[in-house]
Amino acid sequence: MRYFFCMLMAVALVACKGKQEAVAEVQYVTVEGQAQGTYYRVTYADPRQRDFKAEFEAFFEALNREVSTYLDTSLITVFNKDKGKQFSLPSGARHFMANLEKSREVYLASDGAFDPTVMPLVAYWGFGPKPGKVLVVDSTKVDALRACVGLNKLSWTRQPNGEVLLEKGHPGIQLDFNAIAQGYAVDEIGRMLEAQGLTDYLIDIGGEVLAKGENPRGQVWTIGINAPREDGKSDEILAALPLDNRALATSGNYRKFYAVNGVKFSHTINPVTGFPERNALLSASVFAPDAMTADAYATACMVLGPEKALQMIEKNPSLDAYFVTGTADGKMQVRYSKGLKPILDKQ
């Protein structure tokens, strides 16, 4: 879903004069591996040169146990399989609830364009835990699944014992946090670093990025946004933007799709129509104070299309967006929010 970044950062420390010479005295550590079906790379300044790989991966395992739809025993899978109208979450399910509560926030702000209850439709179109292709579209089936979709059909209350009671307005409601959990993981890794007193870092999980402080050169971290082409190269950069104590997430349809009889079906499912969304927006890069927020809004933008998405972004002063749209003749155009104008006008 998110493959549009080329990290423009120094991988080696170079002794320079002045400020950069002083910065070079603080060594950076890079920890990387696989998680959430993609890569992760965490770079941070640490005079003690500590390696937190074990701690990071323990966190990923704990997160998966709550929100991974690819694990049969995860909390979200158990919830999705339960056909009752009430479901009790254990008191310690903080990862699940953090994703659910942020989802409701973005669901309301996007008028339902971002909706984690879209899971039944995601599975029908073959983009869930069991991938496949829809060879013949059954509109009746799609309409039936739409009845299960809508976060307004799910409510929850915290109980005195710490448990959370989820109440389903429809027994078929299922949740999918795949469009937000990756950003949440980025933020949690950031909190882990901050708890260790580390304030200069770049966290990248599958293209969801959070930057704080300075890079090894003593400068603000810079992120490159790639051209959204199916056969695009990682070094085809449309813009290189500073990421100053901010997060960035990109969503797009140009890689994760399949074609049947010449018709492309993308993984971005419109929760209102029930069908894969098809509009002029090729990719949406959203800047936000945290990666979870950026992640969710990037998906909402892909559902809304460029015009409505830009209107939504402009209403929130904490957000910015960089859109790449396609034209009828196959070319690409760039649009961005007002907050990015001073930066991009200089490029």
- Residues 106, 200 within the same domain: no
pLDDT score, position 235: 65
What is the domain range of residue 135? 62-168
- Does residue 44 belong to any structural domain of this protein? yes
- Residues 253, 313 within the same domain: yes
Residue 76 sits in a domain of what CATH number? 1.10.3980
* pLDDT tens for the 347 residues of the chain, in order: 433 334 444 333 333 334 444 444 779 999 999 999 999 999 999 999 999 999 999 999 999 999 999 999 999 999 999 999 999 999 999 999 999 999 999 999 999 999 999 999 999 999 988 888 888 889 999 999 999 999 999 999 999 999 999 999 999 999 999 999 999 999 999 999 999 999 999 999 999 999 999 999 999 999 999 888 766 565 678 889 999 999 999 998 766 767 777 777 778 999 999 999 989 999 999 999 999 999 999 999 999 999 999 999 999 999 999 999 988 888 899 999 999 999 888 77
| Cα separation, 150 vs 163, whole angstroms | 23
- Residues 115, 144 within the same domain: yes
- Who contacts 38 (Cβ-Cβ below 8 Å, separation ≥6)? 182, 205, 206, 207
- Does residue 233 belong to any structural domain of this protein? yes
- Residues 11, 68 within the same domain: no
Boundary-marking domain end, from 139, 168, 197:
168
Q: Which of 38, 6, 10, 2 is nearest to 220 (CA)?
A: 10
Instruction: For 56-113, give the secondary structure using H, E and C.
Output: HHHHHHHHHHHHCCCCCCCHHHHHHHCCCCEEEECCCCHHHHHHHHHHHHHHHHCCCC
pTM given for the model: 0.90
With the C-alpha atoms ordered 190, 193, 197, 199, is the resulting torsion angle positive or negative?
A: negative
- Residues 144, 69 within the same domain: yes
- Does residue 173 belong to any structural domain of this protein? no
